[in-house]
Amino acid sequence: MAATKESDSLDEQFYKPADAFFRAYSHIGLTYDDVTLATLYSEVLPKDTQLGATLAEGLSLNIPVISSDMDTVTESRMAIAMALNGALGLIHYNMPEREQLSEVSRVKNHVHGLIQEPIRATPDQLIGDMLSLIEKKRFAFSTFPVVDGQGKLMGLLPSHVVKHRYANSKVAEALTPRAQVHTLNKKDLGHDPIATADRFFTDHPGIHKLLVVDDQDRLAGLFTMSDIERIIQERNAQFKPARDSSFRLLCGAAVSATRNAFGELDRQRILAHVGGLVERGMDVVAVSTAHGHSRGVGDTVRMLREAFPKLPIIAGNVTSAAGVEFLAGCGANAVKVGQGPGSICTTRIVAGVGIPQLTALYLAEKAARKMHVSIIADGGITKSGDIVKALTLANAVMCGGLFAGCPEAPGEVIEISGKLYKRYRGMGSLPAMKAGSAARYGHTADPTSKVAPEGVEALKEVSGSVDRVLAQLIGGIQSGMGYLGAANLSQLREKARFIRVSPAGQREAAPHDVVELKTGN
Ligand code: XMP
């Protein structure tokens, strides 16, 4: 039941809408933990809330989350997992340009359910070699297609022979020969490859792997029955994959404002590379730098807008209304907001610059509304509650640390004292800048030049898959929206009421005075 006028106006004195709240705190920079959101009368169940967000014409996500363009976060595997969940990945640029083109192609050509580059064995390897590989890479499977030097299918090494007792046998002696292996020609996959594979498994009881070959009988992929079953179950999921108009997964890529040997913007190189990315189907380009309110970034955005009038452009990073207005004026559709909030960032310590994230988002949102562009809250998000708070002002969030421990992030798992970790480093850390990201921070990649790193190298504990991490985050976002009676993200922005939290209030917000049990959540 809705409340009386009197109690409504009492609440209004304490729980303020964004304008009244942030203007009252114009003398202090606030971030996620500094505020909390008031609950409101609700007729909305969390499970019924909609999380769709349009960031630009032609760029709509089913969940408003983007994985950071960092070399320890987003390559094609991460971007595929994000898009399959309705989100977006931005491929980083710390790699040769040719490789970034291939990474985008991998996402755009991804056939869900088909493992396009299965781990293979060759006939002259020993079964012991395969066992070592499984152990080293921590594979959860032990069936391998066997190919010759030209990639031609020779057979299948079934899991029941990949055992220590056969370690000294050659793969050639133990494989199921080509003639007995079920395959499908790539061109017979049809419009719905999942349905084709599903029919195959139904028609062939006991067969759990289906190999795909090309006209020359070269291995082109592998379906497993368990993947297909999971995908069919997930088809009823609330949040559908993020796809383009040709049903391909969405994919973004980042570029920097690269300079030539004379210190001028390398226009030809940037235009040629972005042209290549567009040809491969890239859905959005991000001009990603530490200081977006600058001439070089503005010129880059203007040049790309002119050359690619319809291409959605993300640009950043900024933390002021003027910064958003500038980039929007140059032609950006979405502006990244965040300077120094990231878990691996040291910009505020090294340069003494940057604004706590919620205050920055408030100012950015004011300008974004005026300029009809979107904003993306980039960095500093450590829990789903932060995302709910960010989405009261921003159209989407960008996260690095939350995904860096997932198996889909680049890099190997490292074991230290029995615990498993993955490397996570700032793009402004010295090794990342040497690997290519120096331009993002306005430096050259010359290792002899004196530069102050603005990021650290770190470890993240290995986490569950992107599916699992996102499921937890989405659950939290939907829960927050239910508390505010917000059925969708624009209602969340409209309804949000803020109050400042004291240090004691912050302590009260987390589990306290208990010994917490690890429940695997
Ligand atoms: P989280 O908190 O999600 O932050 O781990 C990821 C975001 O941090 C930014 N980033 C950096 N900022 N120095 C910085 O000041 C760095 O070395 C650095 N590397 C990444 C970036 O915006 C990313 O999305």
CA 355, CA 339: separation in Å to the nearest integer? 6
* Cis amide bond preceding 333, omega within 30: no
Q: pLDDT at position 442, please?
A: 72
**Strand order of the sheet with strand 413-416?**
413-416, 419-425, 457-461
Q: Which atom of ligand 1 is nearest to the CA of 399?
A: 3
| pLDDT of 434 over the 90 cut | no
Q: Please return the burial class of 171, using the count of CB atoms within 10 Å of its CB with bins 0-12, 13-18 and 19+.
A: buried
Between 356 and 443, where is the model more confident?
356
| pLDDT of 408 over the 80 cut | yes
Mean pLDDT of 405-421: 94
Of 433, 112, 76, 94, whose CA–CA distance to 243 is shortest? 112
Write the pLDDT tens digit of every residue in 231-252.
887 676 778 899 998 778 999 9
Parallel, antiparallel, or unpaired for β 413-416 and 419-425? antiparallel
Query: Which tokens is 57 given?
Result: 């014409």
Among protein residues, the one whose CA lies closest to atom 18 of ligand 1: 426
Ligand 1 pocket test, candidate residues 69, 70, 92, 440, most atoms within 8 A of CB: 70
Ligand 1 pocket test, candidate residues 31, 68, 288, most atoms within 8 A of CB: 68
Between 69 and 8, where is the model more confident?
69
Mean pLDDT of 312-331: 98
Given the residues 106, 280, 423, 440, the one annotated as active site: 440
CA 394, CA 190: separation in Å to the nearest integer? 40
**Percent of the chain topping pLDDT 90:** 81
Distance (angstroms) between ligand 1 centre and the Cα of 218 equals 42
Of 248, 315, 316, whose CA–CA distance to 282 is shortest? 248
Residue 443: which pLDDT band, with cuts at 50, 70 and 90?
confident
| pLDDT of 416 over the 80 cut | yes
Q: pLDDT at position 444, please?
A: 67
What number of other Cβ atoms are within 10 A of residue 333's Cβ?
23
Mean pLDDT of the chain: 93
Q: pLDDT at position 2, please?
A: 59
Distance (angstroms) between ligand 1 centre and the Cα of 345 equals 5
Q: pLDDT at position 519, please?
A: 63
Quote the Cα angle for 274-275-281, to 5°: 90
The 3-class SS string of 307-357 reads HCCCCCEEEEEECCHHHHHHHHHHCCCEEEECCCCCCCECHHHHCCCCCCH
Q: pLDDT at position 225, please?
A: 93
CA 450, CA 86: separation in Å to the nearest integer? 42
Q: pLDDT at position 263, please?
A: 80
Distance (angstroms) between ligand 1 centre and the Cα of 467 equals 22
Write the pLDDT tens digit of every residue in 286-299.
999 999 999 999 99
Write the pLDDT tens digit of every residue in 393-406.
999 999 999 999 99
Query: Which tokens is 473 given?
Result: 């985050």
| pLDDT of 492 over the 60 cut | yes
Q: pLDDT at position 232, please?
A: 82
CA 491, CA 496: separation in Å to the nearest integer? 8
In sequence order, what DSSP letters do the residues of 263-316 get, joined into one string?
Answer: SSB-HHHHHHHHHHHHHTT--EEEEE-S--SSHHHHHHHHHHHHH-TTS-EEEE
Which residues surround ligand 1 with Cβ inside 6 Å? 68, 70, 317, 338, 340, 342-345, 347, 378-381, 398-401, 426-429, 454-455
One-letter amino acid at 260 equals N
Q: Which atom of ligand 1 is nearest to the CA of 348?
A: 15
Distance (angstroms) between ligand 1 centre and the Cα of 497 equals 28
Among protein residues, the one whose CA lies closest to atom 14 of ligand 1: 345
Q: pLDDT at position 410, please?
A: 97
Residue 4: which pLDDT band, with cuts at 50, 70 and 90?
confident
Distance (angstroms) between ligand 1 centre and the Cα of 350 equals 14
Give catalytic status of residue 345 as yes or no. yes
Ligand 1 pocket test, candidate residues 73, 287, 344, 375, most atoms within 8 A of CB: 344
Q: pLDDT at position 449, please?
A: 63
Q: pLDDT at position 332, please?
A: 98
| pLDDT of 3 over the 70 cut | no
Given the residues 345, 406, 423, 425, the one annotated as active site: 345
Write the pLDDT tens digit of every residue in 16-51.
999 999 999 999 999 999 999 999 999 999 999 999
162-176, 271-285, 431-445: least confident range:
431-445
pTM: 0.84
Of 380, 384, 393, whose CA–CA distance to 338 is shortest? 380
Residue 114: which pLDDT band, with cuts at 50, 70 and 90?
confident
Residue 330: which pLDDT band, with cuts at 50, 70 and 90?
very high
CA 1, CA 28: separation in Å to the nearest integer? 37
Residues 6+ positions from 503 with CB-CB distance below 8 Å: none
Q: pLDDT at position 445, please?
A: 59
Among protein residues, the one whose CA lies closest to atom 8 of ligand 1: 342
- Give bridge partners of residue 336 from the DSSP assignment: 316, 376
| pLDDT of 142 over the 70 cut | yes
Ligand 1 pocket test, candidate residues 345, 350, 355, most atoms within 8 A of CB: 345
Give catalytic status of residue 440 as yes or no. yes
Quote the Cα angle for 280-284-287, to 5°: 110
Q: Are 493 and 369 in contact (CB under 8 A)?
A: no
Q: pLDDT at position 418, please?
A: 92
Of 114-118, 195-199, 324-328, the range with the highest mean pLDDT is: 324-328
Torsions phi, psi for 109 (to 5 deg): -95, 5
Residue 441: which pLDDT band, with cuts at 50, 70 and 90?
confident
| pLDDT of 74 over the 70 cut | yes
Distance (angstroms) between ligand 1 centre and the Cα of 428 equals 8
- Give bridge partners of residue 184 from the DSSP assignment: 212
Q: pLDDT at position 437, please?
A: 78
